[in-house]
Structure 1
């Protein structure tokens, strides 16, 4: 009798907790019958296990009386307290989760974003500085380059004539620029097709 009384109180606590959680989580009404069925199946199994351990599974009138008394005592004395406690636990859990999300954002996400922006700015500065140095080096080297070109003119001038006389006709004969342009166009079409397929997969 006492075991069934405690089982009835436990059933009431679980049922009230389940109702409060379903209301707080805004579970669709379509799922409520399924969850109710699962609750009653679980409650039946637990009560049967308690009954088996207490009086070897004998079902008598006092079993149902104990269950009804336990459920009635619970709803008369503890139902409101249990529902308020469950609501407080849910709100506390939500507050802790929000605090953890904000702490994660403040301590990890925002510093990483700041480091990314600083790194990006630093790389942009290095790029601008490298371009500036390159221009200075080009201006400094240009006189030496002109002098070297003038001094080596007897060497590369015949080579240039040979190139114009023999290599250019071969290039024109084999249509090298046209073939290169065709290869580029083919690669561009393949790339575009790949991008289109990837976008179609994302849309699906």
Structure 2
């Protein structure tokens, strides 16, 4: 392993130490903001360590084909110390700002969908119910008026055809229909 490869590996491990620290702060802030239940903390920690290990080994394979040396741990330690000394508060603030931006965008989109789609649909539904209710009331009103206007003619028709009734055999279904019509008329107009 040449000196150039060793310095490149130390630099890559320094960067991976910074990335591990940043991931730690990001996971910490997200778990605090999302108010995760206590039982999920081991799961989140496991995910963090899996991601950190994958990141370190990818960088190690890229820099020196995966050879593990003592200076690799030194580079990671320096990177982690550098991160927590100088960059941690900045990353935490940026993460909080990013969370606020995402929440603001989510609320804006939610409100936009509510104003543009949901409220008009509810308004159209209410307007339709009002119009249909009005039309139904008008139809019932007109139906009662028509029945009241036709009832005297029906009585006149029955009176005029009374002599013929003696000679006609009226089927039972027609008698039942007559009874239903009279019952319907009494129910509508007796209120």
* TM band (smaller chain): 0.7 to 0.9
Report the equivalent of 1:25.
Answer: 34
Query: 5+ unaligned residues in a row in structure 2: which ranges?
Result: 1-9, 173-191
Corresponding position: 1:8 with 2:22:
no
Runs of 4+ in 1 over 6 A off after TM superposition: none
Give the aligned CA root-mean-square deviation in angstroms: 1.9
What is the CA distance between 1:154 and its match in structure 2?
A: 3.4
Could you list the per-position Cα deviations for residues 102-158 of structure 1 after superposition, in whole angstroms to 9, with x for gaps in the alignment? 222222222222211111111111111111111221122222211221222234456
Q: CA deviation at 1:40?
A: 1.0
Corresponding residue of 1:94: 103
Aligned residues, how many? 163
Q: Which residue does the alignment assign to 1:113? A: 122
Per the alignment, in what secondary structure is the counterpart of residue 27 of structure 1?
coil
Deviations 1:38-83 (A, max 9, x none): 2112211221121112111111111001100111111111100000
Aligned to 1:144: 153
How far apart are 1:31 and its partner, in Å? 1.3
Are 1:85 and 2:74 matched, yes or no?
Answer: no
Partner of 2:66: 57
